[in-house]
A and B are shown apart, each in its own frame.
Chain A
Amino acid sequence: MSFDVNKLRSQFPILATSARGRPLVYLDNAATTQKPLRVIEACQNYYLKTNANVHRGVHYLSEKATQEYEDVRKKLTKFINASSHEEIIFVRGTTEAINLIASSFGSAFLKTGDEILITAMEHHSNIVPWQLACQKAGAKLVVAPITKRGEVDVAKFKELLSQKTRLVSFVHLSNALGTLNDAQTLTRWAKEIGALVHIDCAQSVSHLPVDVQNLGCDFISFSSHKMYGPTGVGVLWGRKDILNKLPPYQGGGDMIRTVTFEKTEYADLPHKFEAGTPNIEGVIGLGAAIDFLNEVDLKNIHEYESELLKTAIMKLSKVPGLRFIGEAESRASVISFVLEGVHPHDIGTIVDQQGVAIRTGHHCAQPVMDFFEVPATCRASLGLYNTASDIDSLVEALLTVRKVFRR
């Protein structure tokens, strides 16, 4: 295995900086990852050398910008093993991708009495858009429960699937619990009863290979900023035949073929769903992030991070009073925990003083917090540049927390 973590770290300028006078220990990758130099340079080079609007000009720069932008669509097609580049829709991020499906699918196909099935471990962005769509259509949002270990209760999930279920949407890798769902099986069950399936891959794409043919689903969504790319851009992938049946999400330039005041003919995929000038710089930066991930290879990343996760769990379990929230059999990257007698908010402040960045709060998954009866948790989440020494810094910082609270 050609995975050299120090060499990789050297490609991330921010990792050499300090926080609160200490070397930065960045363990908040589930919120957003840091960016390698080549991504930063790709964005910069776009403005230095290529800046022009896409799909609109015959001049040199516009052609060049369009080509670079469309090349990234092709890279993504390969990256997730889509059937065609027309299935890759650029959006602002996972949140917008889910809103797009919920709104377009909801308005065209959702009827009174229909059901949409999600799970109890979803991020707010995979709850609220479906609530809105259900409210509009008079449909019902059904929630599959989770177990105390933080896994989907698969028996209940299966039971809740019915002829009324129009669409199933679940998270691949939970940002709050670290649970890696058996996406293939859940998808197969949903497809058996004829429901469409969307998988929220916001967390998974940067930690393991994601192959849409393998998953067997109809839509996936993810965000560039959580996979070493720039913020403000993300991807919705959908099967071509289904995307063709959905009405547009937003109207405007780029998404049309002909416009008169009486009638508009929409452009073909993918442009039908890309109204207005897109985040060109972001897409080009995302392309550089894909190149980076391909070079390092997600199989290697998955292998390295899985080992590190085991080490982290082992080391953290030795901190007195520490309790994990979420102990699924199959998991990746994310470790959620609480410390007996200390509120996560205080833990966050104290470890931050030691240069350690973790997230404390509800992780946009309040229903998960309610289920585990905690107001918040601490979350450490790994990226490909983290090392066992980062985990040691976290453990040391947590021991300081205990000292401050005389525990």
Chain B
Amino acid sequence: MSLRELYQEVIVDHSQNPRNFGVLERAQYQGNGHNPLCGDRLTVFLNFKDDKVSEIKFQGSGCAISTASASMMSESLLGLTKTQIESLFDKFHKLVTSSLDGGNDSNDSGDLGKLEVFAGVGEFPARVKCATLAWHTVMSAIKGAREVAKTE
């Protein structure tokens, strides 16, 4: 049953038809991510207008979890400020690692909306890095870090 939880309809759909897939020429922010364990590679492009994400695209190759995560993340980040992105990342991170630290639902992640479908990842410790790769990459992009974001 937990397999179905991991590979929910929405996740499979986003992995097969990723949204915002492509390149933004001359993007204000760009980040590269790499998961050396499974070879996933990802580039994220962002433009901001009035301090809010106005455009976002990503490109790369990866497993279903990492592709779906990048796709759904790109939809969730539109219109957010950097601070809001950071706080959403924290919540997302808690969501996908919750069953690792004993599943404390007490500090409810909240506000994740559609991203809640990734809750099943927590049961698959080997896959947490797949789900968070796109997020790490965005964080490194908006912090202007030059180096490739790694999940390790």
A residues sitting closer than 8 Å to B (CB atoms) are 341-346, 349-350, 353, 360-362, 369, 375-376, 400, 404-406
Interface assignment of B64: CB less than 8 Å from any CB of chain A:
yes
**In the complex, which residues of chain B have a beta carbon less than 8 angstroms from the beta carbon of A361?**
37-39
Q: How far is the CA of A349 from the CA of B37 in the complex (A)?
A: 14
8 A-B pairs with C-beta separation under 8 A: A343-B64, A349-B6, A349-B124, A375-B39, A375-B62, A404-B3, A405-B7, A405-B12
Interface assignment of B127: CB less than 8 Å from any CB of chain A:
yes
Q: How far is the CA of A260 from the CA of B77 in the complex (A)?
A: 70
**In the complex, which residues of chain B have a beta carbon less than 8 angstroms from the beta carbon of A369?**
39
CB distance from B144 to the nearest CB of A (A): 28
Is B124's CB under 8 angstroms from A375's CB? no
Q: How far is the CA of A263 from the CA of B22 in the complex (A)?
A: 66
State the majority secondary structure of interface residues on A: mixed
Contact of B38 among A341, A345, A350 (CB under 8 A): A345
Is A346's CB under 8 angstroms from B16's CB? no
Q: How far is the CA of A360 from the CA of B130 in the complex (A)?
A: 14
Tell me the B1-59 residues at the A interface (CB within 8 Å). Answer: 2-4, 6-7, 12, 16, 37-41
**In the complex, which residues of chain A have a beta carbon less than 8 angstroms from the beta carbon of B124?**
349
CB distance from B63 to the nearest CB of A (A): 4
CB distance from B6 to the nearest CB of A (A): 7
Contact of B64 among A346, A362, A375 (CB under 8 A): A346
Is A376's CB under 8 angstroms from B127's CB? no
Tell me the B60-86 residues at the A interface (CB within 8 Å). Answer: 61-65, 67
CB distance from B23 to the nearest CB of A (A): 19
Q: How far is the CA of A360 from the CA of B126 in the complex (A)?
A: 12
Known A-B contacts A362-B39, A405-B64; A349 and B2 likewise in contact (beta carbons under 8 Å): no
**In the complex, which residues of chain B have a beta carbon less than 8 angstroms from the beta carbon of A350?**
3, 7
**In the complex, which residues of chain A have a beta carbon less than 8 angstroms from the beta carbon of B127?**
345, 349
